Amino acid sequence: MMFGQYQNLLKDPDRWQRMHWMLDRERFIDHLDDVRMVRNHIMHFGARPLDNSQKNRLTKFLDMMRHLNP
């Protein structure tokens, strides 16, 4: 699946509830969109290194994922 497909699936409140994640759904989807944009930058314009803003977005998402309670 692609990031956009994950976003569309998780926009559905019923699907989101089945995940049992103690996170705000809209905030998570926003973070996922940030990751999608960084991913596209890497895949399509990979010659340029990530800037600090992109690194911070990835770090925030990773930290959020590490704290999920299944």
Express each pLDDT in 50-68 by its tens digit. Answer: 899 999 999 999 998 888 8
More confident of the two residues 51 and 46: 51
Average pLDDT over residues 30-38: 91
pTM for this prediction: 0.79
User: 46 pLDDT band (50/70/90 cuts)?
Assistant: low
Average pLDDT over residues 16-42: 90
User: 25 pLDDT band (50/70/90 cuts)?
Assistant: very high
State the burial class of residue 67 (Cβ atoms within 10 Å of its Cβ: 0-12, 13-18, 19+): exposed
